[in-house]
Amino acid sequence: MKRSIAVMLLVLACVVGAVCIVNAETVIPLDPNKATTVGAGQWVAKEGDNGIEVVQELALGGDMRFFYDDIALPENFSFEAELGCISGNNPAQRPYFGLYINASGDDFLVFRFRPSSQRWEIARAVSASSSEILMTYEDPNPWAWDLQEWRTMRFERIGNKLNTYVNGELMMSYDYDGTLNGGTVGFFAYSTAAVYRKAKLVAY
């Protein structure tokens, strides 16, 4: 009898522990109307069929960024959004777009997709105009990268591990010894117009 009670208490403790772990996740509100933009792009936040869409409407060259104000990244977090492309599909223009994780000013990381090579990248800024590629993955399943095929990109930091996912599937995992907490998150595009929707920031 005592053994049965002990087992029941152990199971209950596990269940309660699991609930606590789930509850430890905190969704951080993102307001697209409170944002800062960088570069010559034309960013617009508007209501779409699937909620708020953040749209970069001009297929211009150069780095065009959109990031949320009033965000202080915790040490462990995930940031995700659905992405689709509108234009700029000329490979000669070397377009790319993705998620932007900003610690301070030009100190940032990106999780991006390059349609011209069907390549995913994790990159770190080394100056205001250049970045260092930390890790790449060549996609064996070509992405049409237009509004007929949306994909969900997710960037996650747990301890010193950077994990990136596409449509829920782990794509790259990288050991990173830099700091990121205290910054913010957002989107960027280069030589393409693009749409970002269903943005979600979670603290762990």
Supply the CATH number for residue 92's domain: 2.60.120.560
pLDDT in tens, the chain (204 residues): 555 555 444 445 444 454 444 457 899 999 999 999 988 889 999 998 888 999 998 877 778 899 999 898 999 999 999 998 776 555 556 778 899 998 766 678 999 998 778 889 999 987 666 789 999 999 887 777 667 788 999 999 999 999 999 999 999 999 998 888 888 999 988 888 889 999 999 999
Residue 192 lies in a domain: yes
Question: Is residue 2 a part of any domain in this protein?
Answer: no
Instruction: Look at residue 16 and give its three-state secondary structure.
Output: helix
Alpha carbon distance 113, 153 (integer Å): 9
- Is there a domain that residue 14 lies in? no
Q: Which two tokens stand for residue 121?
A: 């990248």
* Number of structural domains in the chain: 1
What is the rounded CA–CA span in Å between residue 169 and residue 50? 22
| Calpha distance 153→155 (Å, rounded) | 7
The answer to whether residue 22 is domain-embedded is no
Q: Which residue has the tokens 């930091």?
A: 157
pTM metric for this prediction = 0.83
Burial class (CB in 10 A: 0-12, 13-18, 19+), 139: middle
Domain boundaries, position 101: 28-203
The answer as to whether 45 is a domain residue is yes
CA angle, residues 180, 104, 177, in degrees to nearest 5: 30
Is residue 163 one of the residues assigned to a domain?
A: yes
Cα separation, 173 vs 192, whole angstroms: 27
Q: Is residue 156 part of a domain?
A: yes
Calculate Rg over the CA atoms of the chain: 19
Q: Do the domain assignments include residue 13?
A: no
